Amino acid sequence: MTGPRTGPRTGPRTGRSPLRSHPPARRVAVVAAVLLVLGLAAGCMQMPASGPVVETDTASGSGDGRATAIDPVPPQPGASAIQVAQGFLEAMTATPIRSSVAQQYLAEDARTSWDPDASTIIYTDSMAPVSVPGGAAIALTSAERLDDRGAWVGDLGPRASTLRLRMVMEDGEFRIADPPDALVVPASWFEQRFRSVSLYFFDRTGQVLVPESVFVPRGEQLASNLVNGLLAGPAGAARLATRSFLPDGLGLGLSVPIDDDGVADVELTGDAPVRSADANALMLAQLAWTMRQDSSIAAIRVSIGGVPVPLPGGVSAYSVEGGAPYDPTGYQSSDLLYGLDRAGLLVSGSPGDLERVSGPLGQDAFGVRSVAVDLAGATAAAVGGDGTSVLQAPVREGEDQGQVQEVVSGATDLLTPSWDVAGRLWLVDRTADGARVLHVDEVGSGQPREVRVPGVTGRDVVDVLVSRDATRLVAVVRGARSDRLQTARILVTDQGRVRGAVADTRIVSEDGGRLRVRDLAWTSPTTASLLSTVRDDLVEVRTITVDGAPSGLSTLSTTVRGPVRGLAGSPVVDQPTYAVGRSRLVDVSSGGEVAVTGVVLRSLGYAG
């Protein structure tokens, strides 16, 4: 609650300052949805007016969500090297998705070695192929890559964005000898045929699920794609921050059949290991949370090597709503709003019914300037008015004898605190040498410990979010001309001790515009929103993804009129996101306003 925190879901879009992300050594388009929007809205990505592509269905215009079927034509006799290159590119847009026609453009040896499942390259436009020594080249615009699991990797860069296809002659015809191991498709085609989903792994302690975003094809194989994604395990920095309880070395049968009652049979191949009931419960929770994204699945049965996995309670099928205690947003966390009124007293309640709490921070003025309440809604951590100390107090009267205690002192300039599911308090101190990221494991008795966060520690940081699962950190780093967002993965041992952090993604203003972030908030476990000023009476709220995957098109950006102090947002996706004024809340999704009566707000936010 730097001011209250939040993020948008839908609303009018603006074209201001699109964001772009960069890992430490290369660029990553975290908001690649911007590219999709530009391609669709501006019409820059169009299927060629001529060539070996035949549309055989118009279902995509019927509103049922099905993509237009595309039946590409195989190579024609006497085709030139340029025509073969163009035909190969177009053949990869076959719908339903298949590689059989594209393979016909390849030399005999390449047909068996080509692996289009190894990665996916998405581009907004392509130039006409040109002849180069030994073959043809195709320049792609704004080309991005996904890995073999469908996780966003990043921008290819100018050099790699040109496909250079070496040609050989076979039976008097040009054929491609060295195709890239990738499915290479337009962004507009990809957006119609793939969807973003989350694969759920666990934090290192096995206490809370952690979602990782990937893209999978739409259609009947969704369940199989979800299971295969879990079997592949976490990748990149996520491998250091998370773990999987699906045994190693397993595969999936041909598919995941789903019966008329919505029960999916997950038949895993391989040797069935001897496992504890706890390990099986964690595996089932991973599968349930991941497979509930397929609306046709109500429950699952799992077998390994033909041996059924025992289900808790002796049930015949495990509900996909199971595993609630491992909720990444916190099991049974408070859904109330918490903030400070004009007098600096702690208030709580629903949007239209905020009142001062009965605990000491709601009854006596301690001169605090920001506050965060733990996920249970029981304990508040408040930064003193000079930013050098943190006070801890119960939210309600009668808890812990209503005592206020100073748990941190001697700081320089503390930002708003945050809490994670383990009850750990996170702090950022803005010192003369830059930001220091601190955590307090045992609030009230433990001492703050510093964790060095690449790209954040030592920088001019103006706002920070820590995910409730304590695996991600997002910081707003102030620059001379424009702010940027730096994300990192927090590393925690199996015993729950914070051991460090690794840099993940750097997100900057793509057009070189001046971006000044006023507030930052979670909108889901994998997306956040930032608030910036357009002019005195207008603010913009933009949604970004924090792990490299593009956000949904409908949640790209929205604007709110009138004075706004901050955002109130939550990683619980069905909790509204609000732009917070002195005496009103604006639902960023719907634009509806809620009057705040009896309280003049300084800040507002959800638990955490």
Domain range list for the chain: 30-192, 197-326, 337-606
What proportions of the chain, in percent to the nearest 5, are helix, strand and coil?
15, 40, 45
Strand partners for 477: 461, 484
CATH number of this structure's domain 337-606: 2.130.10.10
Query: What's the pLDDT score for residue 364?
Result: 94
Please state, in angstroms and as integers, the Cα–Cα distance from residue 62 to each residue in 65, 66, 160, 419, following that order.
Answer: 8, 8, 37, 46
- Tokens representing residue 250 in the block: 């397993």
Which amino acid is it at 67? A
Query: What's the pLDDT score for residue 149?
Result: 87
Query: What's the pLDDT score for residue 505?
Result: 82
Total-model pTM: 0.86
- The H or E element containing residue 593 is strand 593-595
Helix and strand tally (H, E) in the chain?
10, 44
Query: What's the pLDDT score for residue 504?
Result: 87
Q: Distance between CA 502 and CA 238 in Å, rounded?
A: 10
State the first-to-last Cα distance of the chain, in angstroms, to the nearest integer: 9
pLDDT along the chain (608 residues), means of 10: 35 40 39 31 32 37 60 96 97 94 97 95 93 96 89 86 96 97 95 93 97 90 94 91 96 94 96 91 98 97 94 93 97 96 96 94 96 97 97 85 86 98 97 97 82 97 97 95 93 95 81 82 93 89 77 63 93 94 92 92 96
Q: Among candidates 556, 465, 527, which has minimal Cα distance to 19?
A: 556
**Three-state DSSP class for residue 445:** coil
